Structure 1
Amino acid sequence: MKEMWKKYKRQIQITGGICLIAVLGIGGYVVANQDAAVQTQTEMKKETKSSDQKIAKNDAKDASSDSEKKMDTKQEAEKKTDTKSEKTAEKKDTIAKKSENSDNKNSVEKSDKKESVKAEKETGKTESSSKPEQKPSQPESKPEQNPSKPQTKPESKPEQKPSKPQHTHTWQEKTHTVNHPEVGHNEQYVIKEAWTETVTEDVYDPWDCCNVCGADCTADPGGHAYQHAIAGEGGGHHTEYYKTVTRTVEHPAEYGTRWVVDQPAWTETVSDGFFCSGCGTKK
């Protein structure tokens, strides 16, 4: 009974130890899986954050590039308006200068005419005092010159750039070659037909040979010799070690393998499409 109890205790201890080891292994496996899941979750969060930051950076870059483009277009428009205003101001200045020059010329001419008239009048008075019979010479009236109008130069129109000639497409086909290998199969053919051979040979096979008749008396050499002794023919036998045997040998047919071409190799030209040689557009 004691021995049975001890055995029972040992079995209980062994099963308890196995159960503890199994529980510890399962718990460690669960903890490891939980750690791996937590790590994967944290990595996913980090990846989403980095992707959001990249998207925000790209949006900021796009907004800055759009604002720079708008500023460039505004500056170009302002430059164009400034150049136009400068050209109109220069034209006005030139017209004013030309009108001033024409006015100065007209005033100088008028003053010269007045002085000439006065001088002619004085000379006429002196001549009348010396010669009363002669009539005073009337001053020659010169036609007044109309003031020259300011010459206005025609406004210079902006030079029109020659329009580019319309592009006419010249289409050219582009192709490439595809090399197709040959198609075939392996086929067996008969090198030598099957044939039967008759072979006669000496085979090592010891046997008892009768000295009287030469027969094979291996099965009962004594009885065979007794029969010859009764007949008065003598007796005895000896051992032969080889037998002449004739047998037939079946030789199977001999086959070989050769490659049979079902379709020979060929080259195919495949079209890639039509392209313009000037601009490269595809048709």
Structure 2
Amino acid sequence: MKEILKKYKRQVQIAGGICLIAVLGIGGYVAANQDTAVQTQTEMKKETKSSDQKITKNDTKDAALEKKTDTKKETVKKEDTKSEKVVEQKETTAKKSESADNKSTEKTNKKEEAKTEKESEKTDSKPSDQPESKPEQKPESKPEQKPSKPESKPEQKPSQPESKPEKPQHTHTWQEKTHTVNHPEVGHNEQYVVKEAWTETVTEDVYDPWECCNVCGADCTADPSGHMKQHALAGEGGGRHTEYYKTVTRTVEHPAEYGTRYVVDTPAWTETVSDGFFCIGCGAKK
């Protein structure tokens, strides 16, 4: 048995390695599938949370809009109630004025009836010739003229409450307001002549070596031998020497000399500027 194991030991080891590799591969595949499943579950949970949050936001927006509409409706209702109260007050004032007018007309009618009764009693006591004319004129003339008064009163009284709240007219007292503006000095710089332009003649010794003839003192630098030959042929002698300086006269143009100075065009001054006229009482402007 041991000999058989020794022979097939190598093959058994290879088969065991292959089995281990297969087991490990299956386990890795299962783990990867589990990870993907967990990821999908977490993504689904996130999506559900985001959808729930959106729904809650929409609900809060709807609630806010409903509150706004409710507040607007309440304000409209308040305004309607105010207007109704104002109308009721006006109606009550009109009714009061009408009742007062009716009372005054009733009093006047009662007075007139009492007068007519007294006059009728007087006419009954007088002779039969006169009572027929007087009772017919008085009741017809007075009741027709006096009822016209209560008709005019209700039209005038409602206008009185409107005239009372009128405020006295405001008379403006105007006052001018001003402010000062300080203007600085204005000027410029200009040049003036300190010394006029002038020309100068200058004589000076300039270093310039040249050949001087001993006989005539002429400059024979160009051809000293030829110059000496001419003097020798004439029997005047000869000779020359070198001079190192020449006296030169030249003209120097000197330009004009200028200076600068500050010139004032307009001196400093203060200006009073008007801001307008203002009412002391109400602040109106014109």
Q: Which has the higher helix share?
A: 2
Taking structure 1 as the reference length, what is the TM-score of the superposition? 0.41
